[in-house]
A and B are shown apart, each in its own frame.
Chain A
């Protein structure tokens, strides 16, 4: 079996492969590959849908109900219509929270994708120690987020934190206290989140980069393209769909992110790092206003659904290159 696709990878450049595939699909129809497989698909998809419905849709519906009710955590739900939404929109915290959430998720996703792409390209072009790196780079993602948060928030303290201790030895003083001010608190959190997430993105992108047929890579070099052109004109376009998928996934995960920021700043100082999930959490568990918490979460959910749909469309169009 191995010989089938090593031959394939070395001999068939992308353009002809596409034609080959198209032809196969037609052939498939004749052989009946699609019909029975389609039935089997529904056999396996049904439990998936059932499980997702029970564990995700039902609670989501529950949340919709909650978002139009008032509930302090116990007792009956009291219907209040759009009151919670009105309150959330008028209280004045929503726009800031949305901004922080967006800024945080976007920055993290962008940095993760950029770094992972550079690293994947570096490793696949045969950097020294690549094997070691492949293993070590995933480490940050392995520690529980609480652990990471405690470690980094301790390390970023002025005077006594590791980061400052190091800055001091290279002469940059030891008063760097990014977590202490409203303007700067989000940045260390972004960096720590990137630190924890790059490993996974790197692995996936590495897979994508290395799947670019060797012949294509070699051909490019023969044609005289240098590393930079190679990266931008050949690698990048080919891995674009994967890049987009990773970007979207990271974005969605970080919009939903909670543990890391909570453990580092609890949304503070003030409200500087209060992303939407933290805002909702406080509404539910500090102020016992589950209705408002649900309203915020519903807004987040709607936004993410739109985002998810948009990105699927984008990545689909990217594929057809």
Chain B
């Protein structure tokens, strides 16, 4: 099949600068939106997925499997678990079992003035750093118990809608009617912990007036089996516990947010649909004006398929131009932007997949945009086409 020169498609783009501009801008907007939505969803999913490790097991209060913040277990559970369970990792005599309290609290820079957002405050002891190796202190030091000291995660400021400077080392914040001093900053990239505030466990117990903890998180060693933990939980009915793999817990959270993700995708699909319909209109008009030209090309000997291919090249060029601009703009404007969302915060994930999806969208817009109008244009017999206005 003899195909039309690629040059033909390129030159035809310049026929109507206005139409070309409309196509490029339309494609750019839709692709940018697609990239943003993908980055949002991937960021959200990743921060949840990476938060959970396969080798960690969470002991929660029975009935609270869906939400650690709701869970309450006896403070003695970690000790009892350490005594009864084999297969729990330990190093230099320190067992990898972390007692933790997770609470969503409002904090403020002064006693009276509260930020409107809540942040997850996690009461922890030293083992927490062993059980959650993703956490690294980047500035200052870890907190000392009994001194109202805290450390804050990298995205905590975003979470609270505050300036990062307000949570710098040495600054103080208030919650539970107590003033706390920031002695360290940590990062736990792509996990929910990145947006948390960590407090010594006992200090939080005192300030929150509670004698129970939320959960115990333990790390299995190479020989350890989840089933052993499950057996322990089943045998100690008095403790009213339930054991969940940390990765499963966060996977459930990802599933919990499915309606929100669905909503985002539906919105994006609708906007893309609107863009496609507008683009189709433009293409119909563009090709309808060339019916006679198409008849002439056919009379020269070019097959219908060759002409359709050329039209598609033209449309794809315009939409890919828009897509590339969108990709570049997104990289500059969107990558890493922190979003506050439902008790946490995460960064937009503008990775290869998000960009690939965006570019693929651009390509698809071009192809879909050209195909129906091109086919319609070529419907007429050659003699009719040559007579067309």
B and A form one assembly:
no
Binding site for B on A (CB under 8 A): none
